[in-house]
Amino acid sequence: MEFCSHDETMLAFIADLMGKNASGILDTLMNTKHFLPKPVSASLHELLYKILGNSNFKLSFAKVFVSHYPKFFEDSAAAESAAIGITSANKYSEHAILNSFSVQIFTIPTLTPKLVIESRLLEMLLGTLKEFFLACAGEDGRLLGSKGLLVKRMYYRILEDIRYVMNHFEAAKYVAERKSELSRAWLHLLAFVQGMYPQRRMTGIHVEEDNEVWSSVYSLENQMASIHSLFVAGAASNASLEETYLSTPCGSFGLAKEALGNREFQQACQNWMCIERVQRDKWC
pLDDT digits (tens, 9 = 90+) for 181-223: 999 999 989 888 877 766 666 666 766 666 667 777 888 888 9
Is the distance from CB of 154 to CB of 243 less than 8 angstroms? no
Give residue 44's pLDDT band: very low, low, confident or very high (50, 70, 90). Answer: confident
Domain count, the chain: 1
Alpha helices by DSSP H, the chain: 8-19, 25-32, 38-51, 55-82, 97-106, 112-118, 121-135, 148-151, 155-166, 169-178, 180-193, 213-235, 239-247, 253-258, 262-283
Residue 2 inside a domain? The answer is no
Residue 190 or 15, more confident: 190
pLDDT in tens, 22-43: 567 888 888 877 777 888 888 8
Residue 260 or 37, more confident: 37
Residue 3 inside a domain? The answer is no
Residue 244 inside a domain? The answer is yes
Residue 1 inside a domain? The answer is no
Range of the domain at 161: 8-197+213-283
Residue 155 inside a domain? The answer is yes
What confidence score (pLDDT) does residue 40 get?
81
Output the pTM of the full model.
0.76
Residue 227 inside a domain? The answer is yes
Residue 207 inside a domain? The answer is no
